Amino acid sequence: MRLLIAAPTLLLGAIGLVAEAGTANHVVHACKSTSACRTHEVFVPAGVYVPFFKTGTETRSVPVDPICLSATTVTHEEFLGFVRDHPAWRKSRIKKLYAESSYLTDWQDDLTPRPEILSQPVTFVSWFAAGAYCKAAGGRLPTVAEWERFAGGSAPANKPGATADDPAGTGNSPFAFAMGRSAPELANTALAFPGVWEWTSNFNSAMVSGRIGTSAGANSSQFCGDGIRAVDPSNYGAFLRYSFRSSLRANFALKNLGFRCVREVS
Amino acid sequence: MIRARKGVAFLAAVTMMTEVGSEPTERSVYQLDSTWVQDNGRKLRLGALEGDMQLLALIYTTCTGACPVTVKSLQMFSRNMPADIQGRIRFLLVTVDPEHDTLAILREYRREMKLDRSWKLLRGSPEDVRELAAVLGFNYEQIESGQFAHSNLVTVLDRRGEIVHQQNDFASDTATVVEAIRQQGSPTPQ
Amino acid sequence: MKQFVLFAVAAFGFLSTAQAGFPDASAALGTTRASAEFDEIRGEERAVVTSAPFVPPPLNRRHATKVLLDVEVKEHTKVLADGVTYTYWTFGDDAPGQFIRVREGDLVQTKISNHPDNSVAHNIDFHSATGPGGGGEASFVAPGHSATFTWRAMRAGLYLYHCVAAPAGLHLANGMYGLILVEPKQGMPKVDKEFFIVQGEFYTNGAYGERGNQQFDMSKAVREQPEYVVFNGRVGALMGENALRMKAGESVRLYLGNAGPALMSSFHIVGEIFDDVYGEGGTKVNQHNVQTTVVPVGGSAMVDFVMDVPGAYQFVDHSMFRAFNKGAMGAIEVEGPVRPEIFSGRQSQEIFNPGTRLQRVAAVTTSAAPAPKPAQQVASSADSAIHAQGKEVYEKICTVCHQSDGRGMAGVFPPLAKSDYLMHDSERAIRVLLEGLQGPITVNGQTFNGVMPNFSLSDAEIAAVLSYVRTNFGNSGAPVAAVDVQRVRALLAKAGSEPKDRTASDRR
């Protein structure tokens, strides 16, 4: 009995996401958009982003357009291809404005990532470098709104470290849950989170937990004030994400910070 | 209390200045590959600002809180600058709300705020504004139409476009700014 | 007040703008004011820091200086309790972080470094600093980066420092806290020994003691129900080999902090009274002769005392379930000569059964049985009363293991019913009750290897309960008299094996 009910739901899900032919209008629409995405991309349908911090007492909601999203973060190998074609982004040539000295620090030289890390997410990349990569690939970095929408799926309240693949939450980061988790409707796609933080195009938007550059208008977001302004004060994963993003500068190149690109659906 | 604060701020300023080191051009904000339009309609690339020190603030014209205070205090500073740094500083305002702040609105803002010719008002694409803000460490987010949560940061750029001093709440401590400007020496060697 | 300060700052800003045309005047004003308001800073030195539970020696410095303090933030897996690990976030290597000692008037240049391997942004908030966020904003820093800020130690006292990056509760619950002492200009009153203890909580997904690597449990945290409440970062950090050691007669100061993040601490040393308490970590002794002092969450206290009597002591958060079930316990070992004039130790122990006939009868039995042939004499009028007392002791103490029918539990608790071991040798049975029993024994052909504690029973009680079991459960032996017990007890004492008060030592 249960199977009978579940089957059509699964089927519908498959149509929406894998682009089977369909007749209903919304399915046709999704189908068109989906086919616009490339092999290693996941189609993220239009949706709504609820910023983690309220404005005054109001919970905001921001419409988010559909996008094609890289299923996983950019690897060393892929980034190597990029710097081959764009010498200005090689570690010996990059301008100090665009990256701090730790840029690609785990590469032996301009064109030599260690072989054993080739397929791993590239990290030690600055916001500028990540943005340039995406631009060269015909896309851009996701916005905070987009990223939070597709990757901000929340963890079970009592086990924030747990994921579907890793029920005990004992992954390479004890707080991997904060580093990305598929939105429910993308749960059955190829979308993957390898346990690194990810750059967003407007990482320097929300203001959390103090750093130079917070205004009088943003004071309520400081520290404990964050809890009062948060949509869900018990969503510690979101706190960690917003806090981490607000600790960044555009030239930072960190060990656990990578990126993926999105392309707008034409 | 006040003195303590100033002391610490001064230390911070000195630290920042020593960090900005030997290879100036590599750190220049003027490397950004963006084109801006001034309120008078003329195009501007940041590199054209080379030669003068700039006091730079990001604002938007419908801002009712921090921005007018910042602009007014910058203006007051420009009128009361110590003689030795007078004429060495230009002022640069960049709108973070280019969608609303058209050139006409920026011109109106200039009139309203009585900003003289030492001030440039710039408008750019949303992406270019985001990039400039990222370089400066200025955070902002549109909350609703005409409303932003934003930093309250004033940046001093030296003649080559390097960040030599940054300060929140400009009005609270202009002496540190003066000191930072003096540290840059005079435009022509004496 | 806040409004006023804001106004003052703004006004001064404009004032200095207005005066900026006269740089010399402005500078002179600055110097005068600075020297009038603050101590002159002479020289600079590295901060003096020590790992728990030790405290840096007094500074004995007569002037203010610039103190250079480096703090490194690490995220790493450490032992929380036996068999239990947890990914701590720490200042330095441990929770709590190192104890920092500076002097009132010092300028503390603090450099916080967030290790490149770390996963999240951190910062540091000194409760001893005067300024926004205690430095939280100024020190907020991404992994792989350092941030420096300077604050003036305006007020002497004992202060907590901690990470306040969002979500602050998580950073505290993961171990990011420590203590900093701002010595008054004249120093703290001298004592012989100093230690520091910080109470903190851990919210693990597994229950207390559940083995393996534990994860932070958000819902327990939000409900303020930690699985662990510990001193100095883990269960047993101050127990056994790590107990605080001191000599009787030494003056001791404990610097106490409570990082919480949820529970107030009621700090108590079992068997000691604090002579002086610096309430809430301020510089004034605000009470003498204190049994338990409150250490508020995000706060501190200092206590001075002298241990007079040697021995093993425990200190606890007197919210006792935390002490017994969540780890809030530590130990103090005091060396020195015994002080019977202050504390005698146990002198005697008797059963106390107010108002029951049994007790009075038993007492009569003990004292009125001097004759060398007790068994026969006892088996008279007092017979049934002794039987009743024996039954009562048996039901209160023995049934738990040996069961109410005396059959015990196969393989675990030996039987008393028809027991060859019990009936074979009554003197041995008396010894077992006096001394307890440990190790393998054979009862009715079955081997048992367990532990039976001694229950500190009186001679009369032992006589009564042995008489009871030797004449019940299918056993038919002679009863045992209190004088027999007395005799065995004396023999054991003479043989130099004074019966050990094992229950008491178990409690330690």
The shortest C-alpha distance from C144 to chain B (Å) reads: 17
- C482 has a pLDDT exceeding 70: yes
Q: Tell me, what's the pLDDT at C39?
A: 92
- C302 has a pLDDT exceeding 50: yes
Produce one character per residue of C82-121: b if its CB has 16 or more CB atoms within 10 Å, e if not: eebebbbbbbbebbbbbbbbbbbbbbbbbbbbbbeebbbb
Q: Tell me, what's the pLDDT at A4?
A: 37
Q: Tell me, what's the pLDDT at C360?
A: 44
d(Cα B48, Cα B28) in Å, to the nearest integer? 12
Report the pLDDT averaged over residues C146-154: 96
Report the pLDDT averaged over residues A130-157: 87
d(Cα A128, Cα B161) in Å, to the nearest integer? 18
- B24 has a pLDDT exceeding 60: no
> Residue A236 is nearest to which of C133, C143, C167, comparing CB atoms?
C167
Task: Kindly identify which residue of chain C lies nearest to residue A175, measuring between CA atoms.
Answer: C119
Lowest mean pLDDT among A239-243, B33-37, B89-93: A239-243
Q: Amino acid letter at C373?
A: K
Produce one character per residue of C277-288: b if its CB has 16 or more CB atoms within 10 Å, e if not: bbbbbbbeeeee
Distance of CA C372 to the CA centre of its chain: 51
Tell me: the pLDDT tens digits for C270-297?
999 999 999 999 999 999 999 999 999 9
Any C CB within 8 A of A204 CB: no
Neighbours of chain C (3+ CB pairs under 8 A): A, B
Report the pLDDT averaged over residues C56-84: 96
Instruction: Tell if the CB–CB gap between C215 and A209 is shorter than 8 Å.
Output: no
Token pair in block for residue C83? 């068999």
The shortest C-alpha distance from C15 to chain B (Å) reads: 9
d(Cα C334, Cα C272) in Å, to the nearest integer? 11
Question: For the purposes of burial, counting CB atoms within 10 Å of the CB of A167, is it exposed (0-12), middle (13-18) or buried (19 or more)?
Answer: exposed
Tell me: the pLDDT tens digits for C377-420?
444 555 777 888 888 888 878 877 788 889 887 777 889 999 99
- A10 has a pLDDT exceeding 60: no
Task: Kindly identify which residue of chain B lies nearest to residue C21, measuring between CA atoms.
Answer: B82
Question: For the purposes of burial, counting CB atoms within 10 Å of the CB of C506, is it exposed (0-12), middle (13-18) or buried (19 or more)?
Answer: exposed
Distance of CA A110 to the CA centre of its chain: 27
Percent share of chain A, pLDDT over 70: 68
Which of B134-143, B173-182, C178-187, C499-508 tops mean pLDDT? Answer: C178-187
Token pair in block for residue A180? 């990305």
Contacts of A196 in chain C (CB under 8 A): none
d(Cα C274, Cα A118) in Å, to the nearest integer? 63
Identify the DSSP state of C102: E
Lowest mean pLDDT among A132-136, B89-93, C342-346: C342-346
The shortest C-alpha distance from C156 to chain B (Å) reads: 16
Task: For residue C301, list its beta bridge partners.
Answer: C256
- Name every residue whose Cβ is closer than 8 Å to that of residue C323 and which is 6 or more positions away in sequence: C314, C316, C317, C329
pLDDT grade for C313, boundaries at 50, 70 and 90 = very high
Report the pLDDT averaged over residues A115-136: 96
Residue tagged 């299923």 (tokens) = A71
Cα atoms found within 13 Å of the Cα of residue C26, Cβ hemisphere only: 20
Q: Tell me, what's the pLDDT at C67?
A: 98
Contacts of C5 in chain B (CB under 8 A): 1
Q: Tell me, what's the pLDDT at B71?
A: 92
Longest CA–CA separation in chain C, Å: 115
pLDDT grade for A152, boundaries at 50, 70 and 90 = confident
Q: Bin C282: left if φ > 0, else alpha if -120 < ψ < 50, else beta.
A: beta
pLDDT grade for A130, boundaries at 50, 70 and 90 = very high
Phi, psi of A105 (to 5 degrees): -65, -20
d(Cα B72, Cα B167) in Å, to the nearest integer? 16
With a cut of 0.90, is the ipTM above it?
no
Q: Tell me, what's the pLDDT at A34?
A: 58
Instruction: Tell if the CB–CB gap between A55 and B147 is shorter than 8 Å.
Output: yes
Q: Tell me, what's the pLDDT at C188?
A: 97
Q: What is the mean pLDDT of chain C?
A: 84
- C118 has a pLDDT exceeding 80: yes
pLDDT grade for A9, boundaries at 50, 70 and 90 = very low
- B3 has a pLDDT exceeding 50: no
Q: Contact C257/C300 with Cβ under 8 angstroms? A: yes
Token pair in block for residue A97? 């404005």
Tell me: the pLDDT tens digits for A27-63?
334 444 556 899 899 999 998 888 887 766 677 788 9
Any A CB within 8 A of C298 CB: no
Q: Contact C37/C60 with Cβ under 8 angstroms? A: no
- C108 has a pLDDT exceeding 80: yes
Any C CB within 8 A of A248 CB: yes
